[in-house]
Amino acid sequence: MLDATPPDPVATARDAARVAGLDAEGAHLLRVGASVLVRLPAAAAVARIAPVAEAARAVRQAWCGAAAGAGGGAGGAAAAPLRRSRSPGRRHALGLGGGGRAGGAGGPRPERARALHVATRGVAADVPALDPFATLRARIAAAPLDAHTRARLERRVEALAPRWVEAAAADPLGQALVHGDLHRENALAVGGAAVLVDLEMAGFGPASFDVVPTLVAHTRYGRPAADVAAFLAGYGADPRGAPGLDVLVAVYELLVTTWVLAVLPQAPELAEEARVRLAGVLDGATQTWTLR
């Protein structure tokens, strides 16, 4: 989380790169949000700054995807060890192939997600279960909310929790290693291929959950329907209409709503966006959300 981010994440990333034997020349901040990404252009890599537990979990997910034959679909992080930074109690260094955004206007390359799901389907290995509810509960507890809104969100989360179990079990795409937040900013282009980043939410769960961000990009953010059609064509399966998909959508919408709440202390200019999203998930409002 941001309150644990070192004062100078670029310096932290440079430190990690040097320890790993990578060229840190030209390191610069790529993204600050619920996680911090630093691009290392000379090493053709991206470093993610994370607490020890998050970094260890994400590396496990990447190793699982690579070992199962998903290759770069899980991210080049499979080859990157954890490196200790100068900030006590933290490790960093998911060294991921760098480049431009992989998905372009339509979102991430769907064949990479499909390869990851097919390669890991039904094989839990050493990967924790996908658990969006731990993230949701922690974000809501820490969010700058009035008591009434907090209580409404908590009730919404607890109402969805048992339905999630049923929806996951019935997913027509099966259970697999799932990225958990597969939107267009979480895919980078590396030599014409796509590498997935930000694996901290990844886990073994319903494969359809990785399709949901593309559906929500259309229904909530106003992306064209053609983007959905292109993603599903590339993915090679369409879970729309399946029992329980509405639950997966509702959970993802809560995740991206609470993400805004989580970064509000550092980005107060998102207060209006937080209001719009809360109205959407709690009151059924249809105002268009702003893409991050």
Which CATH number is 275's domain given? 3.90.1200.10
Within a domain: residue 104? no
Using alpha carbons, select from 33, 28, 46, 26 the residue that is nearest to residue 5. Answer: 33
Within a domain: residue 178? yes
Reading the block at residue 229, the tokens are 């059609």
Report helix, strand or coil for 106: helix
Highest mean pLDDT among 37-46, 113-122, 240-249 belongs to: 240-249
- Read off the pLDDT of residues 170-215 as tens digits, 9 standing for 90 and up: 999 999 988 888 776 666 554 444 556 666 778 899 999 999 999 9
Reading the block at residue 271, the tokens are 């207060």
* CB within 8 Å of 207: residues ≥ 6 apart: 117, 121, 171, 173, 174, 175, 176, 178
- Read off the pLDDT of residues 219-267 as tens digits, 9 standing for 90 and up: 999 999 999 999 999 999 999 999 999 999 999 999 999 999 998 988 8
Kindly indicate the confidence band of residue 90, based on its pLDDT and cuts at 50, 70 and 90.
very low
Co-location of 37 and 134 in the same domain = no
pLDDT of 163 over the 80 cut: yes
Q: What is the pLDDT of residue 62?
A: 54
CB-CB contact of 51 with 4 (8 Å) = yes
Enclosing domain of residue 220: 126-283
Co-location of 89 and 133 in the same domain = no
Co-location of 73 and 206 in the same domain = no
Question: Residue holding tokens 């769907």?
Answer: 110
Q: How far is residue 166's CA from residue 171's CA, in Å, rounded to a whole number?
A: 9
Q: What is the pLDDT of residue 3?
A: 38
Co-location of 146 and 32 in the same domain = no
Co-location of 136 and 272 in the same domain = yes
Q: What is the pLDDT of residue 106?
A: 42
Domain count, the chain: 2
CB-CB contact of 274 with 149 (8 Å) = no
Co-location of 87 and 130 in the same domain = no
